[in-house]
Amino acid sequence: MLRKMFFLIFALIATAASAQNIVYDQTNQNGVRTVVCSGLNAGVSNSIDAYITLSGFKYNSTVRYSISVSIGSLAETDIPQNSSMIITLANGKEIECPTVIGGPSVLQSIDVQLSDVYQNFRRFAYYNIKAKDLKKIQKSSIVQIDIQLYPSDYSVSFNDNQLGNLLSANYGLLKETLE
């Protein structure tokens, strides 16, 4: 009896902990389920700060992943259509993630509310990333990201694998949530 009670309490705690990592989970009128995980502020570079997280989209049985990037409200920059994010791994390989068709938007015009991110960040874009590339990130740490912006780009280096660990954990959570 005590053993069953322990497992029940553990399952409830694990469910609550994983739910805290999801900040948005809605299905629109077209049947597309959007799930956005909590993320991290990657830091200030060239007077631009960027908040990065992973999102998942499911329509019928198809699941796609995107890296969501919000640019700080104080930055006088725009995310151009057809721009891309370049992720450099510790093994020297690069992963190019193009913006999703439809491109970037002003954060207030989308239906994803990310609490303090919604208030402190202005520009928003989804960058496509394939599941196989997320698996590469799990095997090799992220050392740098570069995002094409106008008029100046955003580039930040990581001493540890903080972003890679976040994306890997979010990938596991999204995979479990969307399947």
SS (H, E, C) 58-87: EECCEEEEEEEEEEECCCCCECCCCCEEEE
Closest to 54 in 3D by CA, of 20, 21, 93: 21
Task: Report whether 140 contacts 127 (CB < 8 A).
Answer: no
pLDDT, one tens digit per residue, over 52-101 is 989 999 999 899 999 988 887 777 888 887 889 999 999 999 999 998 86
pLDDT, one tens digit per residue, over 35-61 is 889 888 888 888 888 889 899 999 998
Does the pLDDT of residue 168 top 70, yes or no? yes
